[in-house]
Structure 1
Amino acid sequence: MKKKFKNQFRVMLILCITLLTANCANEEISDQQKTTVAIDKAQKWFNAYKATAEFHPAFKNINYYWENASLVKLENNSIAITIPMKDNPENPDYHGKKMLYLYPADNGYNTVVHEIFPKSETDFGVENKKEDFQNLDVFTGYILTWNLTEGFVKGAEFENGVAIKNISYAAILSDDEKIKAFNLTRKAPPNWQMELDSVIVTGGSGSGGCAGCGGVIRINPTIGGGGTGGGTGDYIGSPGAGGDSSSGSGSKPIGDPCSRIREQLTSANFVAKQDELKKKTNLKVETGYLQSKNGPFTALNPGSGTDNTDSLNFPFDANTIGYIHAHLDPYEKVKANGDIDPVEPIRMHSPEDVKQFIILILNAGRNSIPISEVYGAMVSSAGTYQLRFTGNIADVSSKASSINWGDGLDKTYTEIMKKSSSLEKGFLKFLNEQIGINGIELYKIESSGNSKKTLDATGKVTSSNCK
């Protein structure tokens, strides 16, 4: 009887082990199948996207190695599909590696190209080829981020896996032969490390554009100021790290404007400045402040000209995140000959205010300041307003340099404002027709609640309450 029981027990034990092994194998197969399905889905989406999108010249002749695609979990726990890519043909002097990252988004994927250049070419020996993008925690060299349709987004120098300096950006292509060589060969100039702070990078030979100039990814608050930064995981492991807005949800700021404004209005220092300026709209000289990312405010000086001026100088630095200033009520100015000149300031953001706001956006991109922290505030007896930005910084960098700032634009602005039934309507029309940068938004700040102002299809101003 005991022998029979032992035999039955052995049979049951073997059966359980067999079933357990089979279940484990099935789970493994299931995971493999899920990865295969995810990659196949991504490839079909990308092929359709590639067929309709206008790729930047730097990415028009590229081979994508989908057979080596992988589903990876990044250091910040986000998921991406990585696809190795090479120029076709590849320049024999090129010593970098490129990888296409697809970050899942609501309407497909955010597409980002990350490119790495080691300072030592031996870092890319045959024995290390499988570890190029997988073990960057000790990487020494440069990492660049590209937008498939717009070109260069941002770049940084890394030392043992830590970002130590940003690669800066200029919107207009220079005649510097070194930069032209970089655009053509995509090879980091050998003396970059000595001139990093002044390097000019564009999206390709003759493109004159930048697709993000730092984007919205914050490597570290001290980057650009000589301090040490975050690691490569912070730089690469972020959905929207310079991705094409057309390929999914696009680059998004950290925190929406409504929440950022609410947070701002809890600052006693900021509220004090705002309340102070409300009492100075009856002066004949504009007053205002710049704010540093660390919090402090610096008083603005009047612009050039006579003492009775209604303009201000905006001396931004690498840490500036915003401005707040007053626009004046109508007043009379005494001319040099004694005549009285009536002055009627427009109590809404001016073209110069918009220009300074745009400069702040690009400044933040170059200095790794989250775009959501950038603001331009105007206080007047007609209301208090803020400019905020929620678009793709590529749109800013590509369009800002083509705007004809100056007296002509000021005159157009004045004509639009005079013909409009309200200050808000006139300003929003000016933004749409003359500036044309998607994502610059107007918010009204009131004690009863803040609201976003937009124009509907009929040209009527609509208000969306901040929640």
Structure 2
Amino acid sequence: MQVLSIIIIHKKVFSSQQICEWKTSGTPPKGLNPIGDPNGDGSGGGDTGFEYPEPPQNPCEKIKAQKTDQGYKDKVSELDHDSIFQKNTETGFAAAYGPQTNYERLKIITDDKLKMPEGNKYFAYIHVHLDKEGAIKIFSPADVHTFLLKCVRNAKEKGNMSDAYAMVITSQGNYMLKYSGNGGYTLAGQYSTWKESYDRKYLELIENNKLTQENIEKIFTQFLKETINISGLEVYKIDKTTGNPSINLNTTEKTILYTLYHVHNNILI
């Protein structure tokens, strides 16, 4: 399968930090009528939306609380291994609502393509990106699309949108998508534009021999803000040891990449 607000600043920093800040400006008035994709086939749409948005919840605390789910911890531990990254085929799990959260394997379509199980009970997924030559070790446009089309919409119907998440585990870092918006986004016809922009940006890195993880993160955050630009869509870099969301600051006087960002009402915070 091929996903933070981001802030890029120039500043001298003397220490690294782990920070998880989140702000919200409240719930918009009723009457929201988002347009979606009636097909629901994952090819570039959404659903028909809803009228009364839920108050957004703090995604930072949701991620931290998630660590208490033994099933979640077990699946992350199972996937976060060098032996998994060296395989030829991606693998992963979908999380489903039930008396307790159930984890089911994602269906393998090709070596680099997985599919969510059918049904509306699945609110999250966890998967790996492999250590193949030229592999992009962060979310792909398809990953982001699946999260917004399936996970967030299913969570709205069966639970709460703040339950939804997508996680990609790589040898160079673990990342998680969350959503704290009101659900008023439209996906119809967007995917091809996302993919074209994403492929072009990363091809430039590969051709210029600059495919470092720092550059991968930087380009991805630009892609989220400039190309996808959905209010409330957040990506977190997850600490491999603690499992907490983090902001990593370097200690030199140069451009600082905040690997956690929020886009809320189209404002970086």
How high is the TM-score relative to the length of structure 1?
0.41
Q: Which of 411, 419, 428 matches 2:221?
A: 428
Match of 1:362 among 153, 177, 183: 153
User: Which blocks of at least 5 consecutive residues in structure 2 are unaligned?
Assistant: 1-23, 40-44, 249-253, 262-269
Paired residues for 1:17-416 under 5 Å:
110-112=28-30, 146-147=31-32, 152=33, 171=36, 213-214=49-50, 241-242=52-53, 251-253=54-56, 255-279=57-81, 280-294=84-98, 295-304=101-110, 309-330=111-132, 343-359=133-149, 360-365=151-156, 367-394=157-184, 396-397=185-186, 400-405=187-192, 408-415=196-203
Cα pair 1:417 1:426 within 8 Å, conserved: no
> Cα distance, 1:412 vs. partner?
2.6
Q: 1:310 to 1:252 in 2, by over 3 A?
A: same
Q: Which residue of 2 aligns with 1:129?
A: none
Structure 1 letter corresponding to 2:192 = W
Cα distance in 1, alignment partners of residues 27 and 62 from structure 2: 27
Instruction: Name the counterpart of 1:442.
Output: 235
Deviation, structure 1 residue 403: 1.1
CA deviation profile, 1:254-291 (whole Å, cap 9, x unmatched)? x3111111121111111111011112111110000001
Contact 2:63/2:245, CA 8 A, preserved across alignment: no
Write the distance in 1 (CA, Å) between the matches of 2:46 and 2:94. 28
Unaligned ranges ≥5, structure 1: 1-105, 113-145, 154-169, 175-207, 216-240, 243-250, 331-342
Question: What amino acid is aligned across from residue 171 of structure 1 in structure 2?
Answer: G
Q: Distance in 2 between matches of 1:459 and 1:402?
A: 34
| Counterpart AA for 1:213 | G
State the 1:409 CA deviation.
4.4
The answer to whether the 8 A contact 2:27-2:55 is kept is no
Over residues 32-80 of structure 1, what are the superposed CA-to-partner deviations in whole Å (9 max), with x where a residue is unaligned? Answer: xxxxxxxxxxxxxxxxxxxxxxxxxxxxxxxxxxxxxxxxxxxxxxxxx
Between the aligned partners of 1:108 and 1:329, the Cα distance in structure 2 is 42
Looking at structure 2, the residues matched to 374 and 310 of structure 1 have their Cα atoms a distance apart, in angstroms, of 23
The root-mean-square deviation of aligned C-alpha atoms, in Å, is: 3.4
CA distance in 2, matches of 1:315, 1:409: 28
Q: Which amino acid aligns with 1:383?
A: G
- Tell me, in whole angstroms, the C-alpha distance in 2 between the residues paired with 1:110 and 1:387: 22
Task: State the alpha-carbon separation in 2 of the partners of residues 388 and 317 from structure 1.
Answer: 20
Mapped partners of 1:109, 1:264: distance in 2: 24
Q: Match of 2:220, SS?
A: helix
**Distance across 2 between alignment mates of 1:281 and 1:364:** 29
1-side partners of 2:50 and 2:28: how far apart? 16
- Partners of 1:172 and 1:315 in 2: CA distance: 19
* Cα pair distance change 1:417/1:442, threshold 3 Å: farther
CA distance in 2 between counterparts of 1:374 and 1:384 reads 17
Q: Which moved more, 1:406-415 or 1:281-290?
A: 406-415
Query: Residue in 1 aligned with 2:257?
Result: 461
Identity among equivalent positions (%) equals 26
Q: Residues 62 and 162 of structure 2 are in contact (CA less than 8 Å); yes or no, is this contact kept in structure 1?
A: yes
TM-score (norm. length: structure 2): 0.69
Q: Which residue identity is paired with 1:252?
A: P
Q: Secondary structure at the match of 1:321?
A: strand
SS in 2 for 1:432: helix
Q: Secondary structure at the match of 2:147?
A: helix
Structure 1 residues 284 and 260 mapped into 2: Cα distance closer, same or farther (>3 Å)? Answer: same
Does the 8 Å contact 2:36/2:46 carry over to 1?
yes
Instruction: Report how many aligned residue pairs link the two structures.
Output: 217
Is the contact between residue 26 and residue 55 of structure 2 (CA under 8 Å) also seen in structure 1? Answer: no
The SS at the match of 1:298 is strand
If asked which structure has higher relative contact order (CA below 8 Å, sep 6+), I would say 2
From the superposition, tell whether residues 404 and 459 of structure 1 become closer, same or farther in structure 2 (CA, over 3 Å).
Answer: farther
User: What letter corresponds to residue 301 of structure 1 in structure 2?
Assistant: K
